[in-house]
Amino acid sequence: MWRRTTPDPSNPLLRKADRTRARMRSALVPVCLVAVACGGTAGGAAWDEGRRSAAEVAQHRHLLPATTVSPRIYRSAAQPESAPDIVARATWHDRAGRVHTGTVPVTATTRTGDTVMTWTDDRGNAAGAPPGTTDITMAAIGYGVGASCVVALAAGAFVRVRLRRVDARCARDWAAEWAEVEPAWSGRLRRGPGQGPGED
């Protein structure tokens, strides 16, 4: 059976507060659409900025061969729930021919004397790899979801505060109206000045 989800404007019992509640609740739908649009815009901007930043970093990263000079070592990862990092000491020559020694990431099967590829900066020092597409995508999604949540939560908080004020005003109006109607409705007349209990 079809049910009306918004108040009927022609209803004579419809109060101003009812109209306000209906408008505030109806506004949540377009606000959610705006939140999604804001999230898409923020995510797109983060994606473009991430690609630009990654391209700049990639210009100063160089993948060079290195030779391990120690057994592999298992080191605690930055995140407790992540698998441990596997590293080893290695030596390599930078593009200018200078020899460098440092700790580089390796695989679980790497042995001493093996050749591994390691990322270096312009000075030949070991450095992290430039951000990949997955990293950029995850960051963009995070920014987009965050922006959507901020807009949606702000709108929801505003509607909640507004509805609480409407409810409080309705309660005050109801109390004032009941104070006027209750004596006649209950058959109890208001006592005049100096009129004691039981006196009409």
Predicted confidence pLDDT, tens digits, the chain (200 residues): 444 445 555 555 556 777 777 777 777 788 888 899 999 999 999 999 999 999 999 999 999 999 999 999 988 777 777 788 899 999 999 999 999 999 999 999 999 999 999 999 999 999 989 999 999 999 999 999 999 999 999 988 888 888 888 888 888 878 887 787 777 777 765 555 555 555 54
Count CB atoms within 10 A of the CB of residue 136.
19
By the 8 A CB rule, do 68 and 116 touch?
yes
Q: What is the rounded CA–CA span in Å between residue 155 and residue 151?
A: 6
Q: What is the rounded CA–CA span in Å between residue 78 and residue 80?
A: 6
Q: What is the rounded CA–CA span in Å between residue 104 and residue 106?
A: 6
Q: What is the rounded CA–CA span in Å between residue 183 and residue 116?
A: 93
Q: What is the rounded CA–CA span in Å between residue 44 and residue 38?
A: 10
Q: What is the rounded CA–CA span in Å between residue 193 and residue 111?
A: 104
pTM beyond 0.95, yes or no = no
**Look-up of token digits 């005003």:** 169
Taking each helix axis as running N to C, give the angle between helix 133-186 and helix 16-58, from 0 to 180 degrees, rounded to the nearest 10: 170
Structure-block tokens of residue 12: 């004579």
